[in-house]
Structure 1
């Protein structure tokens, strides 16, 4: 009886493992995987509080886009702050940097209860880094740490595509 059961299981596995119809076609190779951009010289004001950056090519559906703002420099090391972030100013004022994205572009937005009152330190000559993170890496890396993201992607600073915002206008 045991031999018959083993034979039945073997035949069932053999029958199930037969080749089936061909699956759907994969990506054609034009999708962007794990890229990083630096956007320099970004100036915001009360009228133009949003910038849009087009990707060189569409990103893969399911990948994540991360945006970081250069918050300062300490001992010659850049301090990258992940967005969204809110800065509370004197009194009851606030400033918020946030972003949204599609498969083709990313928008970086600055908001406040009074953009006219915000210091130029927060509005002019801002620098942002945009990272496209493949979906299979999303749960494996601390996305609040720009250096960790770059290490996980295997990218160095010379791999970052620098874009002067003035050329996007």
Structure 2
């Protein structure tokens, strides 16, 4: 019994003793990168030659880089969230709206690192669209998420080498 207790004591001492080595080089300080968000309300104008409705170009009120990701959401209204409280409802673009007669419109957006524009496309002659609920006083929330371009663009050979396999081990699917 004494040997068993001695063995357990030594084992736990070794187990809970940590090894110390030379400290590694210090890393870079972390940064808090948060998305920047703003809202804008627009009226859409019909572009006859393109059969689309478009908003004006909306310039970003802050610095945006080419690698940043732009997301756009359309305000849908408010919904109850319980306890008598209400919350805004936002739908991400692209967003489709289906009419009973089979017509469809779609909100999309285009952007550069300077501005963003919302567009309405459809599967019919949009010059006949006279729906103020989708054309006038439309509020959009625009979020810009900081990002960086990838440092590398590996080839298939680089990936196979990294995974330590050759191309004969890659499953081929024929259609």
TM-score range for the pair, normalised by the shorter chain length: 0.5 to 0.7
Normalised to the residue count of structure 1, the TM-score between the two structures is: 0.55
Contact kept, 8 Å, 2:74 with 2:140, in 1: the verdict is yes
Given the superposition, is the C-alpha separation of residues 114 and 72 from structure 1 closer, same or farther in structure 2, using an over 3 Å criterion? farther
Contact kept, 8 Å, 1:67 with 1:99, in 2: the verdict is yes
Point out the structure with the larger helix share. 1
Aligned to 2:73: 68
- Per-residue deviation at 1:118? 4.3
Q: Does 1:117 find its partner at 2:133?
A: no
Aligned to 2:157: none
Normalised to the residue count of structure 2, the TM-score between the two structures is: 0.53
* Of 95, 109, 118, the match for 1:85: 95
* Of 135, 138, 142, the match for 1:126: 138
The within-5 A match list for 1:4-153 is 34-40=35-41, 42-47=42-47, 49-75=54-80, 76-112=86-122, 113-115=124-126, 116-135=128-147
Gaps of 5+ in 1: 1-31, 137-169
The runs of at least 4 aligned residues of structure 1 exceeding 6 Å deviation read none
Matches of 1:108 and 1:98 in 2, distance apart?
6
- More moved, 117-126 vs 76-85: 117-126
Matches of 1:46 and 1:92 in 2, distance apart?
21
Matches of 2:142 and 2:117 in 1, distance apart?
10
Between 1 and 2, higher relative CO (CA 8 Å, sep ≥ 6) is seen in 1
Q: CA RMSD in A?
A: 2.1
Contact kept, 8 Å, 2:74 with 2:138, in 1: the verdict is yes
Matches of 1:35 and 1:49 in 2, distance apart?
24
- Per-residue deviation at 1:77? 1.0
> Which structure has the larger Rg?
2
